[in-house]
Amino acid sequence: MKGTMNKSENKQISKVSQDSASVEEAKAGGNLGGGGPLKKGPWTSVEDAILVEYVKKHGEGNWNAVQKHSGLSRCGKSCRLRWANHLRPDLKKGAFTPEEECRIIELHSKMGNKWARMAAELPGRTDNEIKNYWNTRIKRLQRSGSPIYPADVRLQMKNAGEDNHMGTLSTGDADHQDLLLRDEIPDVELNNLFSHGYLPCLPDFFDNPASSMRKQGVSSSHAYDLMFSRMHPPKRPRELETLPVLDDSVCSALPVFNHNVEYTGDQKAADSFNLCTSSDPDLNVTDQLPLSVLSGSHALLNGNFFFFGAHIWGYEVGAPFTPIFRDSTS
Protein backbone atom coordinates (compact mmCIF):
# COMPACT_ATOMS: atom_id res chain seq x y z
CA MET A 1 0.00 0.00 0.00
CA LYS A 2 2.86 2.20 0.73
CA GLY A 3 3.66 4.36 -2.21
CA THR A 4 0.65 3.22 -4.08
CA MET A 5 -1.61 5.96 -3.03
CA ASN A 6 -0.72 8.00 -6.03
CA LYS A 7 -1.82 5.18 -8.21
CA SER A 8 -5.01 4.88 -6.32
CA GLU A 9 -5.58 8.60 -6.34
CA ASN A 10 -4.99 8.69 -10.03
CA LYS A 11 -7.51 5.97 -10.44
CA GLN A 12 -9.95 7.95 -8.40
CA ILE A 13 -9.32 11.07 -10.38
CA SER A 14 -9.80 9.37 -13.69
CA LYS A 15 -12.94 7.80 -12.39
CA VAL A 16 -14.29 11.08 -11.15
CA SER A 17 -13.56 12.75 -14.41
CA GLN A 18 -15.49 10.03 -16.11
CA ASP A 19 -18.72 10.69 -14.33
CA SER A 20 -19.15 14.36 -14.17
CA ALA A 21 -22.88 14.17 -14.41
CA SER A 22 -24.89 16.15 -11.94
CA VAL A 23 -26.71 14.74 -8.97
CA GLU A 24 -29.97 15.51 -10.64
CA GLU A 25 -28.90 13.65 -13.72
CA ALA A 26 -27.91 10.70 -11.59
CA LYS A 27 -31.22 10.67 -9.82
CA ALA A 28 -33.03 10.95 -13.07
CA GLY A 29 -30.86 8.51 -14.88
CA GLY A 30 -29.15 5.23 -14.25
CA ASN A 31 -28.75 5.78 -10.55
CA LEU A 32 -32.38 6.05 -9.90
CA GLY A 33 -33.68 3.28 -7.76
CA GLY A 34 -37.34 3.18 -8.45
CA GLY A 35 -37.60 -0.54 -7.96
CA GLY A 36 -35.25 -1.27 -10.82
CA PRO A 37 -32.34 -3.58 -10.52
CA LEU A 38 -29.76 -2.43 -8.00
CA LYS A 39 -26.58 -1.12 -9.47
CA LYS A 40 -23.31 -2.88 -8.84
CA GLY A 41 -19.73 -2.06 -9.51
CA PRO A 42 -17.64 1.01 -8.89
CA TRP A 43 -19.28 4.02 -7.36
CA THR A 44 -19.42 7.22 -9.30
CA SER A 45 -18.74 10.60 -7.79
CA VAL A 46 -22.37 11.45 -8.29
CA GLU A 47 -23.48 8.46 -6.31
CA ASP A 48 -21.01 9.41 -3.64
CA ALA A 49 -22.48 12.89 -3.51
CA ILE A 50 -25.96 11.49 -3.14
CA LEU A 51 -24.91 9.21 -0.35
CA VAL A 52 -23.04 11.95 1.48
CA GLU A 53 -26.04 14.17 1.15
CA TYR A 54 -28.25 11.47 2.54
CA VAL A 55 -26.02 10.81 5.53
CA LYS A 56 -25.80 14.51 6.26
CA LYS A 57 -29.55 14.67 6.42
CA HIS A 58 -30.39 11.39 8.07
CA GLY A 59 -27.23 10.26 9.73
CA GLU A 60 -25.61 6.87 9.55
CA GLY A 61 -27.62 3.71 9.77
CA ASN A 62 -30.85 2.58 8.22
CA TRP A 63 -28.94 1.96 5.05
CA ASN A 64 -31.73 0.16 3.32
CA ALA A 65 -33.68 3.40 3.42
CA VAL A 66 -31.08 5.16 1.34
CA GLN A 67 -32.45 3.77 -1.85
CA LYS A 68 -35.96 4.81 -0.95
CA HIS A 69 -35.12 8.32 0.22
CA SER A 70 -32.35 9.30 -2.12
CA GLY A 71 -33.19 7.36 -5.21
CA LEU A 72 -29.77 5.83 -5.17
CA SER A 73 -29.89 2.49 -6.90
CA ARG A 74 -27.64 0.71 -4.46
CA CYS A 75 -28.40 -1.83 -1.80
CA GLY A 76 -28.04 -0.87 1.82
CA LYS A 77 -25.01 -2.98 2.28
CA SER A 78 -23.25 -1.34 -0.58
CA CYS A 79 -24.09 2.10 0.80
CA ARG A 80 -22.83 1.24 4.24
CA LEU A 81 -19.61 -0.12 2.81
CA ARG A 82 -19.07 2.86 0.60
CA TRP A 83 -19.63 5.23 3.46
CA ALA A 84 -17.50 3.32 5.91
CA ASN A 85 -14.59 2.75 3.58
CA HIS A 86 -14.49 5.91 1.53
CA LEU A 87 -16.86 8.69 2.45
CA ARG A 88 -16.63 8.95 6.20
CA PRO A 89 -15.13 12.34 7.01
CA ASP A 90 -12.82 10.97 9.67
CA LEU A 91 -11.04 8.65 7.29
CA LYS A 92 -7.31 8.99 7.13
CA LYS A 93 -6.11 9.03 3.57
CA GLY A 94 -2.74 7.97 2.35
CA ALA A 95 -0.29 5.22 3.02
CA PHE A 96 0.10 3.60 6.37
CA THR A 97 2.77 5.16 8.48
CA PRO A 98 5.52 2.91 9.81
CA GLU A 99 3.89 3.20 13.21
CA GLU A 100 0.59 2.06 11.80
CA GLU A 101 2.25 -0.82 10.03
CA CYS A 102 3.84 -1.83 13.27
CA ARG A 103 0.55 -1.63 15.02
CA ILE A 104 -1.13 -3.76 12.41
CA ILE A 105 1.42 -6.49 12.75
CA GLU A 106 1.20 -6.32 16.47
CA LEU A 107 -2.57 -6.39 16.45
CA HIS A 108 -2.64 -9.26 14.03
CA SER A 109 -0.38 -11.23 16.30
CA LYS A 110 -2.93 -10.76 19.02
CA MET A 111 -6.18 -10.98 17.13
CA GLY A 112 -5.63 -12.88 13.96
CA ASN A 113 -7.83 -11.83 11.07
CA LYS A 114 -10.10 -9.62 13.09
CA TRP A 115 -9.91 -6.73 10.72
CA ALA A 116 -12.73 -4.75 12.19
CA ARG A 117 -11.23 -4.92 15.63
CA MET A 118 -7.90 -3.95 14.27
CA ALA A 119 -9.47 -1.03 12.49
CA ALA A 120 -10.98 0.08 15.76
CA GLU A 121 -7.45 0.32 17.08
CA LEU A 122 -6.30 2.42 14.15
CA PRO A 123 -8.37 5.57 14.02
CA GLY A 124 -9.21 6.67 10.53
CA ARG A 125 -8.35 3.33 9.00
CA THR A 126 -10.83 0.80 7.70
CA ASP A 127 -10.95 -2.91 8.09
CA ASN A 128 -10.80 -3.29 4.34
CA GLU A 129 -7.68 -1.21 4.15
CA ILE A 130 -5.98 -3.21 6.84
CA LYS A 131 -7.08 -6.47 5.34
CA ASN A 132 -5.72 -5.50 1.95
CA TYR A 133 -2.49 -4.39 3.47
CA TRP A 134 -2.10 -7.61 5.35
CA ASN A 135 -2.95 -9.84 2.44
CA THR A 136 -0.44 -8.09 0.25
CA ARG A 137 2.15 -8.46 2.93
CA ILE A 138 1.50 -12.17 3.28
CA LYS A 139 1.79 -12.61 -0.45
CA ARG A 140 5.18 -10.99 -0.36
CA LEU A 141 6.24 -13.24 2.45
CA GLN A 142 4.99 -16.22 0.55
CA ARG A 143 7.17 -15.35 -2.36
CA SER A 144 10.20 -14.72 -0.26
CA GLY A 145 10.21 -18.40 0.66
CA SER A 146 12.65 -20.23 2.94
CA PRO A 147 10.51 -19.91 5.98
CA ILE A 148 11.77 -20.77 9.41
CA TYR A 149 9.63 -21.87 12.27
CA PRO A 150 10.80 -21.76 15.84
CA ALA A 151 10.75 -25.34 17.01
CA ASP A 152 10.50 -24.57 20.67
CA VAL A 153 7.58 -22.31 20.06
CA ARG A 154 5.79 -25.01 18.15
CA LEU A 155 6.54 -27.34 20.97
CA GLN A 156 5.16 -24.85 23.41
CA MET A 157 2.08 -24.53 21.33
CA LYS A 158 1.61 -28.24 21.23
CA ASN A 159 2.12 -28.54 24.94
CA ALA A 160 -0.21 -25.71 25.57
CA GLY A 161 -2.77 -27.43 23.44
CA GLU A 162 -2.40 -30.68 25.30
CA ASP A 163 -2.72 -28.88 28.57
CA ASN A 164 -5.93 -27.48 27.25
CA HIS A 165 -4.71 -23.95 27.62
CA MET A 166 -5.28 -23.31 24.00
CA GLY A 167 -8.93 -23.05 24.58
CA THR A 168 -8.46 -19.68 26.12
CA LEU A 169 -7.09 -18.20 22.99
CA SER A 170 -10.04 -18.10 20.76
CA THR A 171 -12.86 -20.49 20.84
CA GLY A 172 -13.88 -19.35 17.43
CA ASP A 173 -10.60 -20.23 15.86
CA ALA A 174 -10.54 -23.95 16.19
CA ASP A 175 -9.38 -24.45 12.66
CA HIS A 176 -6.79 -21.85 13.10
CA GLN A 177 -5.46 -23.56 16.16
CA ASP A 178 -5.49 -26.82 14.36
CA LEU A 179 -3.45 -25.28 11.62
CA LEU A 180 -1.01 -23.89 14.07
CA LEU A 181 -0.50 -27.17 15.76
CA ARG A 182 0.13 -29.21 12.69
CA ASP A 183 3.64 -29.80 11.62
CA GLU A 184 3.04 -28.38 8.21
CA ILE A 185 2.46 -24.98 9.65
CA PRO A 186 3.98 -22.56 7.25
CA ASP A 187 6.93 -20.84 8.74
CA VAL A 188 7.84 -17.30 8.12
CA GLU A 189 11.38 -16.32 7.74
CA LEU A 190 12.02 -13.71 10.31
CA ASN A 191 15.02 -12.45 8.51
CA ASN A 192 12.76 -11.48 5.70
CA LEU A 193 10.62 -9.54 8.04
CA PHE A 194 13.57 -7.52 9.10
CA SER A 195 15.45 -7.22 5.88
CA HIS A 196 12.39 -6.29 3.90
CA GLY A 197 11.30 -3.77 6.39
CA TYR A 198 8.15 -5.56 7.40
CA LEU A 199 9.06 -4.90 10.97
CA PRO A 200 10.04 -1.32 10.48
CA CYS A 201 10.22 -0.20 14.06
CA LEU A 202 11.35 -3.33 15.75
CA PRO A 203 14.79 -2.02 16.59
CA ASP A 204 13.17 0.77 18.52
CA PHE A 205 11.31 -1.73 20.55
CA PHE A 206 14.43 -3.58 21.38
CA ASP A 207 15.99 -0.38 22.46
CA ASN A 208 13.26 0.24 24.93
CA PRO A 209 14.51 0.33 28.46
CA ALA A 210 13.90 -2.70 30.55
CA SER A 211 11.86 -0.54 32.85
CA SER A 212 9.03 -0.75 30.37
CA MET A 213 8.61 -4.46 30.85
CA ARG A 214 5.56 -4.34 33.00
CA LYS A 215 3.37 -7.30 32.62
CA GLN A 216 -0.18 -6.58 31.61
CA GLY A 217 -2.23 -9.57 30.71
CA VAL A 218 -4.80 -9.31 27.99
CA SER A 219 -7.48 -10.53 30.27
CA SER A 220 -7.13 -7.47 32.42
CA SER A 221 -9.71 -4.78 32.22
CA HIS A 222 -6.98 -2.47 31.09
CA ALA A 223 -6.35 -4.63 28.12
CA TYR A 224 -10.00 -4.77 27.37
CA ASP A 225 -10.32 -1.04 27.53
CA LEU A 226 -7.36 -0.70 25.33
CA MET A 227 -8.82 -3.07 22.88
CA PHE A 228 -12.19 -1.45 22.53
CA SER A 229 -11.92 2.03 23.89
CA ARG A 230 -11.88 3.60 20.49
CA MET A 231 -14.58 1.47 19.02
CA HIS A 232 -17.61 3.10 17.67
CA PRO A 233 -20.17 2.65 20.43
CA PRO A 234 -22.80 0.81 18.44
CA LYS A 235 -20.14 -1.48 17.17
CA ARG A 236 -19.95 -4.63 19.15
CA PRO A 237 -17.17 -6.99 18.39
CA ARG A 238 -18.74 -10.09 17.01
CA GLU A 239 -16.38 -12.34 18.89
CA LEU A 240 -16.19 -10.56 22.12
CA GLU A 241 -16.26 -13.84 23.91
CA THR A 242 -13.33 -15.07 21.95
CA LEU A 243 -10.84 -12.47 22.86
CA PRO A 244 -7.43 -13.98 22.68
CA VAL A 245 -6.12 -14.52 26.12
CA LEU A 246 -2.61 -15.64 26.60
CA ASP A 247 -2.23 -17.45 29.84
CA ASP A 248 1.05 -18.12 31.52
CA SER A 249 1.78 -21.22 29.57
CA VAL A 250 1.64 -19.32 26.36
CA CYS A 251 3.33 -16.22 27.66
CA SER A 252 6.20 -18.32 28.80
CA ALA A 253 6.83 -19.14 25.21
CA LEU A 254 7.39 -15.54 24.42
CA PRO A 255 10.95 -14.65 23.64
CA VAL A 256 12.99 -13.58 26.54
CA PHE A 257 15.67 -11.06 25.95
CA ASN A 258 18.65 -10.67 28.07
CA HIS A 259 19.02 -6.95 28.17
CA ASN A 260 22.49 -7.25 29.59
CA VAL A 261 23.60 -8.65 26.29
CA GLU A 262 24.01 -6.56 23.22
CA TYR A 263 22.06 -7.99 20.31
CA THR A 264 21.82 -6.93 16.80
CA GLY A 265 18.31 -6.88 15.50
CA ASP A 266 18.69 -10.18 13.73
CA GLN A 267 20.48 -11.77 16.60
CA LYS A 268 17.73 -10.76 18.92
CA ALA A 269 15.14 -12.27 16.72
CA ALA A 270 17.04 -15.43 16.02
CA ASP A 271 18.14 -15.86 19.56
CA SER A 272 14.81 -15.23 21.09
CA PHE A 273 13.05 -17.71 18.87
CA ASN A 274 15.68 -20.39 18.79
CA LEU A 275 15.38 -20.17 15.10
CA CYS A 276 16.12 -23.17 13.02
CA THR A 277 19.71 -23.45 12.13
CA SER A 278 21.79 -26.26 10.83
CA SER A 279 22.84 -26.97 14.36
CA ASP A 280 19.36 -27.38 15.61
CA PRO A 281 18.96 -31.11 16.08
CA ASP A 282 15.34 -30.96 17.09
CA LEU A 283 14.13 -29.43 13.97
CA ASN A 284 13.28 -31.59 11.08
CA VAL A 285 13.90 -29.45 8.08
CA THR A 286 11.62 -31.54 5.97
CA ASP A 287 8.60 -30.57 7.92
CA GLN A 288 9.27 -26.94 7.32
CA LEU A 289 7.27 -26.30 4.27
CA PRO A 290 7.68 -22.97 2.66
CA LEU A 291 4.67 -20.78 2.39
CA SER A 292 4.74 -21.31 -1.29
CA VAL A 293 3.45 -24.81 -0.95
CA LEU A 294 0.15 -23.47 0.12
CA SER A 295 -2.58 -23.10 -2.33
CA GLY A 296 -3.44 -19.66 -3.53
CA SER A 297 -6.29 -18.86 -1.25
CA HIS A 298 -5.72 -16.06 1.15
CA ALA A 299 -7.72 -17.88 3.70
CA LEU A 300 -5.11 -20.46 4.35
CA LEU A 301 -2.31 -18.04 4.01
CA ASN A 302 -3.93 -15.82 6.46
CA GLY A 303 -3.93 -18.72 8.79
CA ASN A 304 -3.23 -16.21 11.45
CA PHE A 305 0.27 -16.17 12.71
CA PHE A 306 -1.36 -15.74 15.95
CA PHE A 307 1.07 -17.19 18.39
CA PHE A 308 3.79 -16.64 15.99
CA GLY A 309 3.23 -12.95 15.94
CA ALA A 310 3.15 -12.77 19.66
CA HIS A 311 6.48 -14.46 19.66
CA ILE A 312 7.90 -12.22 17.08
CA TRP A 313 7.14 -9.19 19.04
CA GLY A 314 7.61 -10.42 22.48
CA TYR A 315 4.76 -8.27 23.55
CA GLU A 316 2.22 -9.18 25.99
CA VAL A 317 -1.23 -8.76 24.69
CA GLY A 318 -2.74 -5.57 25.95
CA ALA A 319 0.59 -3.91 26.39
CA PRO A 320 1.32 -2.54 22.97
CA PHE A 321 4.89 -1.81 22.15
CA THR A 322 6.08 -3.23 25.40
CA PRO A 323 8.74 -5.80 24.81
CA ILE A 324 9.26 -8.49 27.35
CA PHE A 325 12.68 -8.63 28.82
CA ARG A 326 13.90 -10.80 31.58
CA ASP A 327 16.82 -9.69 33.59
CA SER A 328 19.46 -12.35 33.41
CA THR A 329 20.21 -11.82 37.05
CA SER A 330 16.76 -12.91 38.09
Partner DNA sequence: AAGCCGGCCAACCGCCTAATT
Partner DNA sequence: CAATTAGGCGGTTGGCCGGCT
| Binding window for DNA (CB under 7 A); candidates: 60-68, 201-209, 256-264, 272-280 | 60-68
Contact status: 82 vs DNA (CB under 7 A): yes
- Is the Cβ–Cβ distance between 257 and 207 less than 8 Å? no
- CB 108 within 8 Å of CB 305: yes
Nearer to DNA, 93 or 214 (CB): 93
Distance CA 216, CA 241 (A): 19
Judged by CB under 7 A, the residue of 158, 165, 196, 298 near DNA is 298
CB of 199 to DNA, least distance (A): 16
Residue 165: alpha-carbon gap to chain centroid: 24
- Residue 205, CB-side half-sphere exposure with 13 Å CA sphere: 25
Which amino acid does the sequence have at 132?
N
User: Under a CB-based contact definition with an 8 Å cutoff, are residues 205 and 323 in contact?
Assistant: yes
Q: What is the closest distance, in whole angstroms, from the C-beta atom of residue 48 to DNA in the complex?
A: 8
d(CA 73, CA 54): 13
User: Among 80, 103, 125, 268, which residue sits at the site for DNA (rule: CB under 7 A)?
Assistant: 80
Rounded to a whole number of angstroms, the minimum distance from the CB of residue 286 to DNA is 26
Smallest distance from the beta carbon of 264 to DNA, in angstroms?
27
The interface mask with DNA, positions 177-206, x = CB under 7 A, is ------------------------------
- Among residues 67, 70, 113, 156, the one that binds DNA under rule CB under 7 A: 113
Judged by CB under 7 A, which of 76, 167, 217, 265 binds DNA? Answer: 76
Stretch of 135-143, 160-168, 245-253, 264-272 lying at the interface with DNA (CB under 7 A) = 135-143
Q: Which stretch binds DNA (CB under 7 A): 8-16, 20-28, 265-273, 284-292?
A: 8-16
Rounded to 5°, the CA angle 24-38-29 comes to 25
Minimum CB distance to DNA, residue 284 (Å): 29
Residue 170 contacts residue 112 (beta carbons within 8 Å): yes
Find, among 280, 274, 224, the residue nearest to 254 by Cα: 274
237 binds DNA (CB under 7 A): yes
Q: Which of 215, 249, 243 is nearest to 325 (CA)?
A: 215
CA distance 247 to 250: 6
Are residues 153 and 273 in contact, defined by beta-carbon separation less than 8 angstroms? yes
Query: In the complex, which residues of this chain contact DNA (CB under 7 A)?
Result: 1-5, 7-8, 10-12, 14, 39-43, 61-64, 74, 76-78, 80-82, 85-86, 95, 113-117, 127-129, 131-133, 135-136, 139-140, 143, 234-238, 297-299, 302
